[in-house]
Amino acid sequence: MSYSELNNMKSIFSFLILLSSAVSSPAQIRKSENRPNIIVILTDDQGYADVGFNGSKDIPTPGIDRIASNGTVFTSGYVSFAVCGPSRAGLITGRYQDRFGFARNPLLAPKDSTMGLPLTEETMADLLKKAGYKTGAIGKWHLGAHPSLIPNRRGFDEFYGFLSGGHQYFPEKLDLNDLSEAKSQFDGYRTKLLKNQERVTEQEYLTDAFSREALNFVKANRDQPFFLYLAYNAPHAPMQATEKYLNRFPNIKDSKRKTYAAMVSAVDDGVGDLLDLLQELQIEENTLVFFLSDNGGPTKDNASDNKPLRGFKGDFFEGGIRVPFALQWKGHVPAGLRYDAPVISLDIFATAASLAQVEPKNKLDGVNLLPYLSGQKKGVPHEELYWRNYNADRYAIVSHENKLIIQPKQEFLFDLKKDLSESKNLFSEESEQAKRLSKKIEEWKKQLMDPIFLGLLEDETYNRLNPDRYTPVQKDN
């Protein structure tokens, strides 16, 4: 038995003791029958190494680390794609996004009803609303800017944030009244924020504003089951931070890394305040909190750190798809556990569906993780996990410790247990294993759709095909 297995056994054992003592308390029984609140905290482009619980030395994250010490860290926690949009489409539906053609980062095209998450898909907010949850989305959306695709039409009672793929952080830079004033893809970064469907003038640094709104949402909904999707755009570029946070890092000399650290630190304050509030309202044992990043760090853009992983945002090497990932549910999920078997962002939806006791509309790819953490279920949550990058004709599969990446003229086979940094390509010497995994990919591919919209890389083509992309819709239409 390895050290981590031993630790797992210990944590499961203490969890069982905790469980048996909880059973004797009537108050606890009543609480566990209630459907727990669910909070998903998503960061944007944060590197694997850039949280304390994964060993960060130069960027302390005491707030985020509380989730790890109160709960479980997934050391092999994946997302379903290596850039923002498709990764979010997977997370919010619990399904591989290529099943419904969400294969690219959507363009900002507010007049295009096909540019985003198709209406055939059920979001986690749709699902939880069926179970009587109050639902809120805060921060970055990136799943469609057409009026039929905005958060308020996709199951969220409340929305505070922006629709595009990124945003300026300083309120004075939000100088467009709305998307009708946008003339280019990146003008989407400059719009005033939306409170539901109304534009508002924000006064605070964006990350602080989202934290403030998250606290308000929880306070307002403390007495009923709620689902909060808190999608910070930090620490995605543009690199912008306030003095309050920059001053915490006098020892970081590289200015980009310093700003990145400040941006992460701002998120960390928000997470810490949110956990404090759960404690204060005494709903900590009735609230499941997930924390993860939407993809690996793009080191050149934001000075993030994916070590010891190979590769970056956009890659199917681990640095693109393995992210900081943890969850807490006090009294229900083992505390201080490091869980090593591969899990994926798609599991969040399935876990929520199971806890809310509601049947999803579509077939899910994720699984409920909790029985694996308690030891109630043996084995691993996933025999295989898959990735496709349609534009690059690149595929990947992780099956236990084995990983295969195939792309035109290049194949890689790695043993992740022995070689987490993917430095030794075993493709030639272990051809049987490679063949087995390649066959699995071929089977999985048959279930996927071609992309249903052009993406960020096809911005110019899209403009050519849609010359009226930014022309405002007439109000009386």
User: Which residues are annotated as catalytic?
Assistant: 84, 142
Q: Does 50 engage in binding with Ca ion (CB under 5 A)?
A: no
Are the C-beta atoms of 145 and 164 separated by less than 8 Å?
Answer: yes
- Residue placing its CB nearer to Ca ion in the complex, 321 or 373: 321
Strand order in the sheet with 402-407: 385-389, 394-399, 402-407, 410-415
d(CA 71, CA 396): 29
- Contact string 259-298 vs Ca ion (x = CB under 5 A): -----------------------------------xx---
Task: Determine the angle formed by the axes of helices 26-33 and 3-23, rounding to 10 degrees.
Answer: 110
* Min CB(296)–Ca ion separation in Å: 9
d(CA 258, CA 234): 14
Q: Does 208 engage in binding with Ca ion (CB under 5 A)?
A: no
Q: Which among 37-45, 105-113, 340-348, 423-431 is the span making contact with Ca ion, rule CB under 5 A?
A: 37-45
- Residue placing its CB nearer to Ca ion in the complex, 37 or 207: 207
Which residues, listed in sequence order, are joined to residue 195 by a DSSP beta bridge?
160, 198
Q: Please, is 240 exposed, middle or buried when counting C-beta atoms within 10 Å of its C-beta (0-12, 13-18, 19+)?
A: middle
- Residue placing its CB nearer to Ca ion in the complex, 326 or 337: 326
Greatest Cα-to-Cα distance within the chain, rounded to the nearest angstrom: 69
Are the C-beta atoms of 169 and 234 separated by less than 8 Å?
Answer: yes
Strands 193-195 and 198-200: antiparallel
Q: Does 45 engage in binding with Ca ion (CB under 5 A)?
A: yes
Q: Please, is 357 exposed, middle or buried when counting C-beta atoms within 10 Å of its C-beta (0-12, 13-18, 19+)?
A: exposed
Size of the site for Ca ion (CB under 5 A): 5
Are the C-beta atoms of 386 and 396 separated by less than 8 Å?
Answer: yes
Q: Does 44 engage in binding with Ca ion (CB under 5 A)?
A: yes
CB-nearest residue to Ca ion:
84
- Residue placing its CB nearer to Ca ion in the complex, 93 or 233: 233
- Residue placing its CB nearer to Ca ion in the complex, 226 or 312: 312
- Residue placing its CB nearer to Ca ion in the complex, 110 or 296: 296
* Min CB(140)–Ca ion separation in Å: 9
**86, two tokens:** 């498709």
Spell out the residues 6+ positions from residue 204 whose beta carbon is closer than 8 angstroms to its own. 171, 212
* Min CB(166)–Ca ion separation in Å: 9
d(CA 59, CA 43): 15
57-96: which residues touch Ca ion (CB under 5 A)?
A: 84
Q: Which among 38-46, 160-168, 320-328, 413-421 is the span making contact with Ca ion, rule CB under 5 A?
A: 38-46
- Residue placing its CB nearer to Ca ion in the complex, 52 or 297: 297
Q: Does 304 engage in binding with Ca ion (CB under 5 A)?
A: no
* Min CB(29)–Ca ion separation in Å: 41
* Min CB(295)–Ca ion separation in Å: 5
Residue appearing with tokens 């048996």: 20
Helix or strand (DSSP H, E) at 463: helix 459-465
Residues at the contact surface with Ca ion, assessed by CB under 5 A? 44-45, 84, 294-295
